[in-house]
Amino acid sequence: MARVMGKEELRIDISSLAQDGHEIETGTSPEQMSPVDLISGDRDLYLAVCIPLYRAAMKGDWKTAKGIFEMFPAAVRFTITPGGDTTLHIAAAAKHVYFVEEMVKIMEPEDLELKNQYSNTAFWFAAAAGIVGIAKAMVKKNEILPMIRAYDEMTPLHVAALLGHSEMVWYLYNKTDHEQLTVSDWVKLLNACISTDLYDVALDVSSHHPTLAVERDGNGETALHLLARKPSAFSGGDQLHIWNTVINSISCKRVEDKKILRQNKSLKLVKHLWQQVIVQPHSEILDLIRSPSPLLLVAAELGNTVFLTELIAIYPDLIWEVDDHNRSIFHIAVLHRQENIFNLIYEIGSMKDLIVPNKDENDNNILHLAGRLAPPRQRNIVVGAALQMQRELLWFREVEKMVLPSFRERKNRDGETPWDLFTKEHKDLMKEGEKWMRGTAAQSMLVATLIATVVFAAALTVPGGSNQDTGIPVLLRKKSFIFLQYRMQ
């Protein structure tokens, strides 16, 4: 007996349906490889079989599902959702290992190749779920599952990489027929692994396919373009990294070790990719680092110091790269308040004097850029407008020390000196800072008043209290009170 809850309770006797001839003929030839659709077909059978199967698959209730399959063996091929999913699709997506292991035992190998309306197999769902035990059970039954692609030609390996399932990626990486993967497939896999921090897999892929270093994906980007945007892959990527290190060293040492290992892998990956790039003709190198986005300048904007240092150390000519506004990596670092990138300028010797004088199309020199208001992401490193204003002023003064005195008075096309621009850009922040200071001072005064009141009241309060009628201390005749009175005198 199956029970289906709707607007009212519906009971359908499954055994009677079987006796009444509700049999479904299912072919197993390649031409007939599609799930049996009962959504728009036999409603009694759908309500009695498909809905209970869906619930059982979602809960991992193999006992219920097994009972249904014993009466309707063909139900393993039934579509039980409007999207064309079979029971195996749902169980795999719900991560029920035992359910899947038992179900594949009663299925034919070709049954595991059934696809839903989006051309996804149940194995594709298993890859997306990241449960290796489910994948192993399916592959044991049908070894070609890892090579069955979805509607967008994406393999299970690719979806696992995009979702960052490291263990599943390694399993599928070894189960996928590499000979059937195209160059485009390898590029997508490499970039997917970089995007989800699977640098060990990415390093293995690039080591076996070194030419991938110069291959571009659908957006025209190479693996280095993706790494340029990931400062956290190398050194934590922000000013709070030191605190993260302290916290991890106290409570999460294992997490910190994994992080260091990941950073080592990512650095090896950058070195390997860059070594493959620099053997190309100079014109091709420039085309790669400039298109579709200037990866060096993107790295400078995001504070990706390790990445930049590695590239420039091997290919020093990159130090002269500028963007469309004639801004070098140091100009970008000043504009976006990236201290670590800016500090590299002290390590390039006399070349500093040739790079720093660069001006953009509006005649803004590097000190003008220091006078611009910092992006919100950098301002919000400290809390409070007054502290943000202080940080901005300190940054301006630091850059001012580095430039020639004449730079301080040079005007841009709007007739503004660097300090003029600083004053204009920070006018609102200064007002907010003054307001913040007044509010903070008022709050501090209130707290100080409350503390003083409590302390004063405590100082005048007689220990033990006083008699409400006479006003005489209750503990007046006690030795401890006399001693306390003596000590206070």
pLDDT at residue 11 greater than cutoff 90: no
pLDDT > 70: what percent of the chain?
75
Structure confidence by residue, pLDDT tens digits, 21-61: 455 444 444 334 456 665 665 677 778 888 999 999 999 99
Looking at per-residue pLDDT, the higher value among 297 and 380 belongs to 297
The C-alpha atoms of residue 394 and residue 337 are separated, in whole angstroms, by 11
Please report which helix (H) or strand (E) contains residue 79, including its range: strand 78-79
**How far are the Cα atoms of 158, 181, 188, 200, 211 from residue 184, in angstroms, in the given order?**
12, 8, 6, 20, 12
Residues 201 and 194: their CA atoms lie apart, in Å, by 9
CA distance 100 to 119: 20
Q: At how many degrees (to 10) do helices 305-314 and 253-277 cross? A: 30
Mean pLDDT of 387-399: 92
H helices of 252-338, where? 253-277, 282-290, 295-302, 305-314, 329-335
The token pair at 349 is 């010797």
Mean pLDDT, range 246-273, rounded to an integer = 71
Task: Give the pLDDT score at 435.
Answer: 78
Least confident of 58-67, 289-298, 369-378, 452-461: 452-461
Domains and CATH numbers, the chain: 34-151 (1.25.40.20), 182-358 (1.25.40.20), 447-486 (no CATH)
85: CB partners within 8 A, 6+ apart: 79, 93, 116
Rounded to whole angstroms, how far apart are CA atoms 16 and 165? 45
Residue for token pair 């359910």: 99
Q: Provide the whole-model pTM.
A: 0.79
Say how many C-beta atoms besides its own lie within 10 A of residue 361's C-beta: 9
Dist CA 47 CA 38 (whole Å)? 9
pLDDT at 456: 45
